[in-house]
Structure 1
Amino acid sequence: MNDASGRAQDPASGYRTAVGRVAVIGTGVIGASWVSQFLGAGLDVVATDPAPGAEARLRETVARHWPVLTQIGLAPGASPDRLTFVTGPEEAAAEADFVQENGPERLEIKHETYRRLDAVAAPDVVLATSSSGLTPSAIQAACRHPGRVVLGHPFNPPHLVPLVEVLGGEHTDEGAVDAAMAFYARIGKRPIRLRRELVGHVANRLQAALWREAFHLVGTGAATVADIDAAIAHGPGLRWALMGPCLLNHLSGGPGGLSHTLDHLGPLMEAMWADLGDPRLTPELKQTLVRGLDEALGPRDRDAMVAQRDRLLVDLVRQKRGAPDLP
């Protein structure tokens, strides 16, 4: 069915399903990457950011991302020319079919932004936040239509890494979450649906668990920064790029699968859990980490490392798309 504007609407969810124009609010590192993703998916993008020079920086960033997006595969009609830059969130959201907000991580700024977005966006348009630290429940408190506010948290850089964490707040309609999940999947993302609000959501918490032990091992002198990074990049990190920890343990268990692994290695896992560290980021530990990384990198050029990382990510994403037997 269609809404009053003639836009396609899912009768079950009450939210728009035919997304042709996306408003991007805030075009810093994450916002600019989202813009590139949406343009590469063949959508019209209307972006806004109050920072001086934001439009020029955004267009330069999109141009820099475009060759990589071309390698991954562009949707029919995809073009950087479908980007429009406007002066404020009202103009960006007024005719949008979906809104992706990427503003500062300050609740008072979020509230002001969402009051303005909520006043002009059609009621059947989902308002998604990229926030890493704020919950949708906290953000939607500023809205007259809180039911359409969702978390749509990407992993950096969004135009390369498929993951998006989707979550509704206390007053979010299930239909809005469904619509966001469907939209992200349609543009080539890999959305996961979170079941409750958590500090840092899910993927960042998993990262934080690893960081905690890595920093503990460096701080106690058990290993150097270089060796910690090598242990991951040349060890389990290679497998982690292909599948998650539960599936890895399942495959490690042979015919007995995950059940066998848990029975066989469970006592060792619990012994290691009991021995994990609980470091604090003291000035001394920070200095040790920074000094260790500087020593490990030597004269390597940062921009060259970023470019090579992105090339390998593109290759990996393309390979994973061609591996239908892996979830």
Structure 2
Amino acid sequence: MTQSFPIRTLGLVGGGVIGSGWAARALAHGLDVVAFDPAPGAEDALRAAVANAWPALERTGLAQGAGRDRLRFARSVAEVAAEADFVQENAPEREDLKRRLLAEIDAGCAPGTVIASSSSGLLPSRIQADCRHPERVVIGHPFNPVYLLPLVEIVPGELTSRDVVERAAGFYRSIGMRPLKIRKEIEGYLSDRLQEAMWREALHLVDQGVATTEDIDDAIIYGPGLRYAFMGTCLTFHLAGGEGGMAHMLDQFGPALKLPWTKLEAPELTRELHDRMVEGTAVQADGRTVKELERWRDDCLVRLIEVLAPLRHERRAESADPVAP
């Protein structure tokens, strides 16, 4: 399989929250975007979502020639497949639907075009199974909002070629992302498995009356969340061991892992728990619409990114291999 970079046209199948996020990021990096979504009013919703994201993207910096007018809405999946240099599928998380769509995209794409799915947990080996060229199908799992958060998990299936993984990573880097290649195919991949563990525990705490939704969020915002933004989990616990590092931390706190502090299984989603979660987050939203909250979230993320950018640059420079004179 051969294909030269740079990618000029990103094809999107599915224009919801994730699809519109891909559109906004690609447009901000000076690409053309051709998209299709069969839902009624999909084009207007997609353009509105991109418009809502644009102020944050203007603050972070637009590429030369970037513009919302470079978004075109197609009439079919086949039209997207025929015109795109790289296709990102963003359909609902249903294996049967994704298998059918990926096969349809594969049938219409030019030879060598990479096809990525934004799936957040399905096994790539299963959803690529009906494609004539499964070797060019890979998972490219982003995080919301796609246009600001740089992480994208790349998960190959059993039949995905190594070349496609590298080319997908190269494309994502070209639009300002941080590709993370998952070493072994697994449901839920990496980040979502970590998030889901915390989410299950949060539901238990609310269900048992230990905390409100706001308590849960404050427990992260003002504590570990600040460290997670630049240090993550493992390095944080390494420091928790003092001069002895991770070895001392495991020796000292390892026995606590046997204590019943967490629950692995999610609680039953009863109507009472459902209502507590809905009512709690409504109080937190304090009358603000989702669009208003998105713009507030984007402003917070942009400020955080601006603060962390030089620190991450220093970290990369320190960890880089020395260059021979």
- TM-based fold match above 0.5: yes
Deviates more, 1:48-57 or 1:91-100: 48-57
Are the equivalent residues in 1 in contact too, given 2:155–2:189 (CA < 8 A)? no
Report whether the alignment pairs 1:276 with 2:262.
yes
User: 1:99-178 maps to which residues of 2 (within 5 A)?
Assistant: 99-178=87-166
Q: Structure 1 residues 101 and 235, CA, compared in 2 at 3 Å: closer, same or farther?
A: same
Matches within 5 A, 1:6-17: 14-17=2-5
Tell me if structure 2 keeps the 8 A contact 1:136–1:167: yes
From 265, 282, 289, the counterpart of 1:302: 289
Which residue in the other structure is 2:321 paired with? none
CA distance in 2, matches of 1:261, 1:30: 39
Counterpart CA distance in 1 for 2:13 and 2:37 is 6
For 1:57 and 1:293, how far apart are their aligned partners in 2? 24
Stretch moving more, 143-152 or 105-114: 105-114
1:282-293 paired onto structure 2 within 5 Å: 282-293=270-281
Q: Deviation per CA, 1:38-87: give whole Å up to 9, x if none.
A: 01111111111122222222222222221111111112221112222211
Match of 2:69 in 1: 81
Residue 214 of structure 1: how far off its partner (Å) = 1.5
**Contact persistence 1:20–1:97 (CA under 8 A):** yes
1:268-288 deviations in whole A, cap 9, x for unaligned? 3x144x431242323332233
Aligned residues: 312
Q: Is the 8 A contact 1:15 1:125 kept in 2?
A: yes
- Is contact 2:103–2:128 with CA below 8 Å preserved after alignment? no
Please tell me the residue identity of whatever aligns with 1:297: Q
TM-score normalized with structure 1 length = 0.88
State which of 86, 96, 100 in structure 1 corresponds to 2:84. Answer: 96
Distance 2:63 2:243 in 1: 41
Task: Report deviation, 1:153.
Answer: 0.7
Structure 2 letter corresponding to 1:276: T
Name the SS of the counterpart of 2:119 in structure 1. coil
Tell me, in whole angstroms, the C-alpha distance in 2 between the residues paired with 1:216 and 1:60: 36
Contact 2:35 2:74 in 1 (8 A): yes
Give matches, 1:211-222, under 5 Å: 211-222=199-210
Give, in angstroms, the shift of residue 289 of structure 1.
Answer: 2.9
Aligned partner of 1:204 among 192, 198, 210: 192
The answer to whether the Cα contact below 8 Å between 1:16 and 1:97 also exists between their aligned partners in 2 is no
Q: Find the counterpart in structure 1 of residue 225 from structure 2.
A: 237
Q: Structure 2, unaligned stretches of length 5 or more?
A: 317-325
CA contact (8 A) 1:23 1:46 kept: yes
C-alpha displacement at 1:107, in angstroms? Answer: 2.8
2:261, 2:154 → 1: CA distance? 33
CA distance in 2 between partners of 1:85 and 1:255 (Å): 57
The more displaced of 297-306 and 146-155 is 297-306
Aligned to 2:322: none
Counterpart AA for 1:211: W
Residues 285 and 72 of structure 1: CA distance in aligned 2, closer, same or farther (over 3 Å): same
Once the two structures are aligned, what percentage of the paired residues are identical? 48
Is residue 325 of structure 1 aligned with residue 314 of structure 2? yes
Distance in 2 separating the partners of 1:299 and 1:144: 51
Name the structure 1 match of 2:50: 62
Contact between 1:101 and 1:128, CA under 8 Å: does it hold in 2?
A: yes
Contact 1:89 1:116 in 2 (8 A): yes
Check the 8 A contact 2:237/2:246 in 1, yes or no: yes
Deviation of 1:298 after TM superposition, in Å, equals: 7.2
Return the alpha-carbon distance in structure 1 between the equivalents of residues 250 and 273 of structure 2.
Answer: 34
Q: Contact conserved, 2:241 with 2:249, CA < 8 A, in 1?
A: yes
**Residues 99 and 128 in structure 1, CA contact (< 8 A), matched pair in contact too:** yes
Of the structure 1 ranges 142-151 and 254-263, higher mean CA displacement relative to structure 2 is found in 254-263
- Relative to the length of structure 2, the TM-score reads 0.89
Any conservation in 1 of the 2:238–2:246 contact (CA below 8 Å)? yes
